[in-house]
Amino acid sequence: MRHLNLADKVIMLADNALKTLAGGYQTTPREKPVSQSDAGELTTEDAKHSAGLMRINHCGEVCAQALYQGQALTARLPEVREKMEQAAAEENDHLEWCAGRLKQLDSHTSWFNPVWYAGSFAIGAIAGAVGDKWSLGFVAETEHQVVRHLDDHLQKLPSNDHESRAILIQMREDELEHATAALAAGGAELPGPVKKMMGLMSKVMTSTVYYV
């Protein structure tokens, strides 16, 4: 990024945003998590509920991509920038899995994803500009909040939606690893008011995206 001019950076950021929102992003060679249990037949109501939860998780991954891209843009140390970019690449698997499950449930991703992407990118850029230790701390807190959401969703999923459950379990494991890595790299614990603000924004997102 240091050897690129402003126009190059803008083009790269626009490309990342389009790929995140419209597809075409690079995933890892990992296979989609598959449940060992037989697929259960979901009722119309259960399928709608599962779709709402998976739409929230997909939107959460869109926000994570935007946060990481924004932080990578303003991170000061090259190794921190690389960690942001690596985390973003790993999160692409989650995007793919959630989008695929939504199609299976005959549903769609959130229509407000572009809005959430823009807002999350701005927050990430600000966090990166404040300082690398706070940027990494922001990543850790974000991932910890995501883990709590995933725990909640695992409880709320219909008992026979084994496919969605397998995806969320693997996502939870990955997010916890990202949080641990961010703290190990020097991330600072965020002040209480910042954590509360992040939690409030998350509630607004989840309550909206479940439906649209």
- Confidence at residue 90, expressed as pLDDT on a 0 to 100 scale: 74
pTM > 0.85: yes or no:
yes
- Confidence at residue 147, expressed as pLDDT on a 0 to 100 scale: 94
178 belongs to an annotated ligand binding site? yes
173 belongs to an annotated ligand binding site? no
- Confidence at residue 211, expressed as pLDDT on a 0 to 100 scale: 93
- Confidence at residue 1, expressed as pLDDT on a 0 to 100 scale: 45
CATH class of 60-209: mainly alpha
Q: Where are the domains of the chain?
A: 60-209
58 belongs to an annotated ligand binding site? no
49 belongs to an annotated ligand binding site? no
- Confidence at residue 114, expressed as pLDDT on a 0 to 100 scale: 94
41 belongs to an annotated ligand binding site? no
45 belongs to an annotated ligand binding site? no
Count Cβ atoms within 10 A of the Cβ of residue 131 and give its class: 0-12 exposed, 13-18 middle, 19 or more buried.
Answer: middle
Residues of the chain with pLDDT under 50: 1
